[in-house]
Amino acid sequence: MILTAHQPVYLPWLGLFHKIALADKFVFFNEVQYLPKDWMNRNKIKTSVGEIFLTVPVLRKGYREKKTSELEINNNINWQEKHLKSIQINYKKSLFFDTYIQFFEEVYSKKWQYLADLNEYMLKWFLKVLTIDVEFLKASDFEFKGNKSDLVLDMCKQLNADAYIFGTLGKDYANIDEFNNARIKVVFQDYNHPTYNQLYGKFISHLSVVDLLFNCGPDSYKIIMSNNVTKTELSQVCT
């Protein structure tokens, strides 16, 4: 069984979906500490004047003592209207605007208390639309112990993983020897970002998956996986 995990991310980039698509099980790691200026509550879309951030405001008081699952959104700021309008204005001329805009209208019409709940809801929809079939688990439903590499190893043991997919930055902290001793294969994702047809001139990479969906629709999954290792190929290496 191939396992991977990631902290809650707002409007994720393409690489996250490639990593999840390679796994049999995915752990939505909502037990980590919130990191300011990370991707938990912001991401980028493309506009006629370049890329911009869409940021969900959070209540930061005492955030160092809170798990991501406990981090509340600052709903004193009308961020939903801003984000919806930004998406509507910048993607209304895209080929698949009418296909997907209703979902975003629905999401931004709700009042979300917790950031992790918003990110989970949207991530599950993205996975469904991209036809990525994976068992979706939440860290808050388990008691994983340790820090960094030890935490990941404990998660692998509890979930009976044969292999674990780290992101590229996992090379900075993964204790490969300990995984080898536990007979768990370590894989580091090396994502080749694709190019695709975008609005507004020169291609910009590392945007939210929102940009890909509105521009490419049903071809989005194929584009995400293009020139990258597939689940079948990875499974052959891990067995």
- Taking the C-alpha atoms of residue 78 and residue 43, their distance in angstroms, rounded to an integer, is 17
> Which amino acid appears at position 154 of this protein?
D
The reported pTM is: 0.95
User: pLDDT tens digits for 175-186?
Assistant: 899 989 999 999
- Calculate what percentage of the chain has a pLDDT beyond 90: 78
Report the pLDDT value the prediction gives residue 139, as an integer from 0 to 100: 93
What residues have CB less than 8 Å from 188, skipping those under 6 apart?
165, 166, 167, 168, 170, 171, 174
**Does 3 have pLDDT greater than 70?**
yes
Report the pLDDT value the prediction gives residue 230, as an integer from 0 to 100: 86
Q: How many CB atoms lie within 10 A of CB 109?
A: 10
What residues have CB less than 8 Å from 98, skipping those under 6 apart?
none
Count of domains for the chain? 1
Report the pLDDT value the prediction gives residue 156, as an integer from 0 to 100: 94
**Does 239 have pLDDT greater than 70?**
no
Q: Number of C-alpha atoms within 13 angstroms, CB side, residue 108?
A: 20
Beta pairing class for 42-47 and 50-55: antiparallel
Report the pLDDT value the prediction gives residue 202, as an integer from 0 to 100: 95
User: pLDDT tens digits for 141-162?
Assistant: 998 998 888 999 999 999 999 9
Report the pLDDT value the prediction gives residue 66, as an integer from 0 to 100: 77
231 pLDDT band (50/70/90 cuts)?
confident
Partnered with residue 188 across adjacent β-strands are 166
Mean pLDDT for 28-57 is 91
Cβ proximity of 8 and 26 under 8 Å: no
**Does 195 have pLDDT greater than 70?**
yes
* Structural domain that includes position 167: 2-238
31-35, 73-77, 80-84, 200-204: least confident range: 31-35
Mean pLDDT for 93-114 is 97
- Taking the C-alpha atoms of residue 93 and residue 72, their distance in angstroms, rounded to an integer, is 34
